[in-house]
């Protein structure tokens, strides 16, 4: 799980922003992820200590220390992302994946971020939420020239505050964000015991419009997306959030879609503790069970995982927990088209009637699908079909897990007498 294919960057033309030429003699190697699974992060190999985050279906970028600078290398390039088993998308991302790797550093670190452009068009990187010099803010045309294909640019700044941030292009944004270019950026407190939690999960909320059977997103779509994803994965491709009972848990999210998402956690109430503007003072934290994620914003919430079980965790917009194909279905509830179906079958042997009693049948149906798409309602749990897709996962709270164990423990075994049951009169 910790092995990563490391590929050497072909160094393109190098344009230095404000860095000594000697520092650019050799670029840091950009590491690549092993796959679309969640990679539990190793402890920081160098630099100041911190408690690393877990990127859902993702990973954290390695770095090297160079004369007091913490150096990262992002390569912007086309990638293939498996959104769930059975469907792959042609996206743009960083270091072989969309989203790119999570950048983790510590308040006070001086970071040097090399960005190599291997896209067919120019790009930049904006460091959303960071307090930095205007010329490092990454807005193409405004704060710097765009990075042309083949060029490498350098961003250098000191991390002024800890918190929850992200990065994304500020060049041809509509296209580059619709294609999946984004990544998480966590700045840990200088004191590792400040804001300390036991498990700290991060993901970006994103969305794509990919026709069933196609693989490349439609980049001009404004609101009618058909794949609602977390870290460019959809249920049942989103890993569960595995937690040891009693742990203090933090979940951090950023929203880079074109609409808000009310993210709902079952089984718990939680406190909103951080935004991309900073930490919420304890006296100002507010309780929720659903947190609305505004567009272009980040939120973190925390809870003590005292209640064991399998707890649904999802967007509360019901179209966002469905995959492609579910959005243009006509309403057939109450329509008796039995005799139409009998006639149709004589003409079209595979003709199928759907939806006259609702659509729950579809969650348990083997339907022929075009290549490279996903059923709109899918997933199986211990009691049957879960009938979900898109932005849905499960928080799995279990007794007695080891500290660093994030492996899926399977389904929860409910104690006797604690499951809803059928009334037999």
Number of C-alpha atoms within 13 angstroms, CB side, residue 267? 17
Parallel, antiparallel, or unpaired: how do β-strands 241-244 and 392-398 relate? parallel
- Do 48 and 159 form a contact (C-beta atoms < 8 A)? no
Q: Which residues of 155-176 are buried (b: 16+ CB within 10 A; e: fewer)?
A: bbbebebbbbbbbbbbbbbebb
Least spacing, CB of residue 9 vs Cu ion, in Å: 36
205 vs 305, which CB is nearer to Cu ion?
Answer: 205
Question: In the set 299, 314, 320, 398, which binds Cu ion (CB under 5 A)?
Answer: 320
138 vs 389, which CB is nearer to Cu ion?
Answer: 389
Least spacing, CB of residue 227 vs Cu ion, in Å: 12
46 vs 223, which CB is nearer to Cu ion?
Answer: 223
Least spacing, CB of residue 228 vs Cu ion, in Å: 6
Binding mask 217-256 for Cu ion (x = CB under 5 A): ----------------------------------------
Contacts of 313 (CB under 8 A, 6+ apart): 241, 263, 264, 265, 266, 392, 393, 394, 395
106 vs 315, which CB is nearer to Cu ion?
Answer: 315
178 vs 397, which CB is nearer to Cu ion?
Answer: 178
79 vs 256, which CB is nearer to Cu ion?
Answer: 256
E-strand spans in 175-277? 183-188, 199-208, 227-230, 241-244, 248-255, 261-265, 270-275
Least spacing, CB of residue 318 vs Cu ion, in Å: 9
Least spacing, CB of residue 261 vs Cu ion, in Å: 3
Least spacing, CB of residue 49 vs Cu ion, in Å: 36
Size of the site for Cu ion (CB under 5 A): 4
- Do 341 and 423 form a contact (C-beta atoms < 8 A)? no
Please list every residue from 379 through 398 that binds Cu ion, using CB under 5 A: none
Please list every residue from 27 through 86 that binds Cu ion, using CB under 5 A: none
34 vs 295, which CB is nearer to Cu ion?
Answer: 295
Least spacing, CB of residue 396 vs Cu ion, in Å: 22
Question: In the set 4, 190, 285, 317, which binds Cu ion (CB under 5 A)?
Answer: 317
- Do 279 and 129 form a contact (C-beta atoms < 8 A)? no
81 vs 320, which CB is nearer to Cu ion?
Answer: 320
Please provide residue 89's backbone torsions phi and psi, each rounded to the nearest 5 degrees.
Answer: -120, 140
Q: Does 261 bind Cu ion (CB under 5 A)?
A: yes
Least spacing, CB of residue 8 vs Cu ion, in Å: 39
67 vs 290, which CB is nearer to Cu ion?
Answer: 290
Paired with 279 in beta bridges are 274
Helix (H/G/I), strand (E/B), else coil: 274: strand
Least spacing, CB of residue 386 vs Cu ion, in Å: 17
d(CA 52, CA 46): 13
Please provide residue 228's backbone torsions phi and psi, each rounded to the nearest 5 degrees.
Answer: -105, 115
Among the residue ranges 60-68, 214-222, 236-244, 259-267, the one whose residues contact Cu ion (CB under 5 A): 259-267
Q: What is the DSSP letter of 29?
A: P
Q: What is the DSSP letter of 329?
A: P
* Interacting residue ranges for Cu ion, rule: CB under 5 A: 261, 315, 317, 320
């Amino acid at each position: 799980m910790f092995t990563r294919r490391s590929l050497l960057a072909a160094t393109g033309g190098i344009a230095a922003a404000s860095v000594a030429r000697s520092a650019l003699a050799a670029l840091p190697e950009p590491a690549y992820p092993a796959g679309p699974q969640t990679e539990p992060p190793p402890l920081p190999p160098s630099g100041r200590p911190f408690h690393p985050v877990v990127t859902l279906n993702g990973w954290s970028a390695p770095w090297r220390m160079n004369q007091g600078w913490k150096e990262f290398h992002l390569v912007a390039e086309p990638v293939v992302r498996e959104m769930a088993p059975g469907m792959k998308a042609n996206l743009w991302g960083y270091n072989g994946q969309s989203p790119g790797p999570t950048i983790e550093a510590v308040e006070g670190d001086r970071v040097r971020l090399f960005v190599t452009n291997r896209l067919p068009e120019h790009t930049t990187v904006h460091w959303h939420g960071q307090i930095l010099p205007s010329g490092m803010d990454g807005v193409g045309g405004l704060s710097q020239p765009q990075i042309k294909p083949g060029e490498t640019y350098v961003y250098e700044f000191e991390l002024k505050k800890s918190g929850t941030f992200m990065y994304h292009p500020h060049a041809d944004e509509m296209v580059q964000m619709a294609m999946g270019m984004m990544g998480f950026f966590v700045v840990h407190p200088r004191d590792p015991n400040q804001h300390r939690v036991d498990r700290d999960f991060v993901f970006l909320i994103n969305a794509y419009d990919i026709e069933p059977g196609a693989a490349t997103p439609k980049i001009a779509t404004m609101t009618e997306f058909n794949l609602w994803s977390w870290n460019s994965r959809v249920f049942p491709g989103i890993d569960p959030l595995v937690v040891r009972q009693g742990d203090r848990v933090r979940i951090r999210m950023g929203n880079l879609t074109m609409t808000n998402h009310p993210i709902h956690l079952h089984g718990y109430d939680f406190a909103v503790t951080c935004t991309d503007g900073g930490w919420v003072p304890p006296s100002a934290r507010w309780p929720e069970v659903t947190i609305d994620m505004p567009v272009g914003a980040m939120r973190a919430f925390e809870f003590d995982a005292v209640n064991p079980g399998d707890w649904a965790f999802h967007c509360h917009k019901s179209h966002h927990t469905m995959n492609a194909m579910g959005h243009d279905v006509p309403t057939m509830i109450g329509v008796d088209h039995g005799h139409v179906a009998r006639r149709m079958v004589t003409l079209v042997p595979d003709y199928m009637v759907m939806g006259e009693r609702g659509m729950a049948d579809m969650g348990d149906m083997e339907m022929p699908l075009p290549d490279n798409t996903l059923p709109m309602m899918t997933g199986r749990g211990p009691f049957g079909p879960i009938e979900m897709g898109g932005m849905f996962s499960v928080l799995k709270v279990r007794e007695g897990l080891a500290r660093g164990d994030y492996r899926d423990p399977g389904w929860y075994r409910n104690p006797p007498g604690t499951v809803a049951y059928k009334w037999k009169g």
